[in-house]
A and B are shown apart, each in its own frame.
Chain A
Amino acid sequence: MDEIFHFIIGKYNYWASLVLLFIGLYGMIAKNNLMKKIIGMVIFQTAILLFFVSIGAKRGATVPIIEFGPDKQPLLEASAYANPLPHVLILTAIVVGVATLGVALAVLQKIQRVHGTIEEDEVLEDQRQ
């Protein structure tokens, strides 16, 4: 019992991103409207970013910016600072995510222009004709 409790509480960051992951995946697969599919994709992406950034957390650690002691000497203990790598990777991934979202919206506008709709089945029907 204690082990199960520890499993649930000790890894709660994964549960949060798992829930978001499945909301996004469900949106991408089940929704018919392409705009909703894109929203699902963004939620999916956010879940992965959250998962990644949560790995960087360290108990008893502060943000990875070197602090200085009273004698102006830098405090260089790795255990005092959170892991900087996930932050770096996610920082770039967020901006690239926005850029790819822009491309997705542009393609969506083009689809709307050519087919007059952004419902997936109607687009497919329009293509068959």
Chain B
Amino acid sequence: MKRLTLVILAICAVIMLAAAVDLPDWADPASPASTHLSPDFLEQGYGETATPNIVTVVLADYRSYDTMFEAVVVFAAALIVLVVLRHTPRKRRKMLQHRPVREGRDTVLRGAAQLIIPVMQIFALYVVGHGHYSPGGGFQGGVIFGASFILLALCYNLKFTIERFREQAVLVCVAGGVLLYAGVGAVCLAMGWNFLGYAGLAGILGVGEVMARSHGILAVEVGVGITVFSVMMSLYYDLASGGDLDEGL
């Protein structure tokens, strides 16, 4: 089996090496990827949306349909994990009660977590809010925010975290983030523009069309951030406890 695998991989390697001959060189400014669409984005992005970070502009404005459905994929993944792991039959569950019960009384761990978690959460909010001007945005900020809660669950225990952030609240956040994203799009639609055409928010916010696009980007980034953060927590809750939400790791 292993020898056969190596043969298959060798054939794939030869094909890929043959293909690599035609690929552009590393960091070639004249490569096809850098000559068609990306100059337009870089030269017009700031003027059209008043947002210096072009990655954010493309993510949340030019390709906002794509990003919305990425959020839906993440949302669907959280639901699938719930369906697969939660509500196991009692009999099976009894078999699996061999996880050691963590008391979580480590003073050093708790002290360090108390110091780090607030800083992490403020940094996460900064990453979301400052995503227009520096590397950052909903995905990154959401992951950092989710990581702060996972750190809490690791340093104390899962029960402690669930008491503070119940599963129902997490699931409301999972759906709420996607809903906020789609809601912004729907408001634009109601104002007579295309779905997710943020210029439609200009009348509501009382700013020009360019600034309205900047604010629209922020709104959907917040939606993405909420979804990603709560999906991280939902995945952790279910995976760490095998779907029982009792003791965790």
Contact = CB atoms under 8 A, between A and B. Distances in A.
Interface of A: 7, 10-14, 18, 21-22, 25-26, 29-30, 54-61, 63-68, 74, 76-79, 81, 83-88, 91-92, 94-96, 98-100, 102-103, 105-107, 109-110, 113
A53 B228 CA distance: 22
A91 B59 contact: yes
A19 to B, nearest CB: 10
Given A64-B53, A99-B73, A106 B238 contact: yes
Interface in B204-238: 228, 231-232, 235, 238
Contacts of B88: 113
Nearest to A25: B9
Interface in B3-21: 5-6, 8-9, 12-13, 16-17, 20-21
Contacts of A30: 1-2, 5
Given A11-B25, A22-B9, A22-B13, A78 B80 contact: no
Contacts of B43: 76-78
B29 interface: yes
B193 interface: no
Contacts of A54: 26
B77 A99 contact: yes
Nearest to B85: A106
Given A22-B9, A106-B81, 10 more contacts: A11-B26, A29-B8, A60-B29, A66-B53, A84-B42, A88-B63, A105-B239, A110-B84, A113-B88, A113-B96
Contact of A57 (B27, B52, B70, B243): B27
Contact of A103 (B2, B33, B80, B232): B80
Contacts of A14: 20, 23
B139 interface: yes
B80 A106 contact: yes
A26 B6 CA distance: 8
A23 to B, nearest CB: 10
B242 A109 contact: yes
Contacts of A100: 77
User: Dominant SS at the B interface?
Assistant: helix
Interface in B111-161: 133-135, 137, 139-140, 143
A94 B59 CA distance: 14
Interface in B65-102: 66-67, 70, 73-74, 77-78, 80-81, 84-85, 88, 92, 96
B27 A84 contact: no
B70 A55 contact: no
Nearest to B238: A106
A84 B73 contact: no
Given A79-B29, A107-B84, A65 B77 contact: no
B138 to A, nearest CB: 9
B37 A65 contact: no
Contact of A25 (B12, B41, B45, B137): B12
A25 B16 CA distance: 14
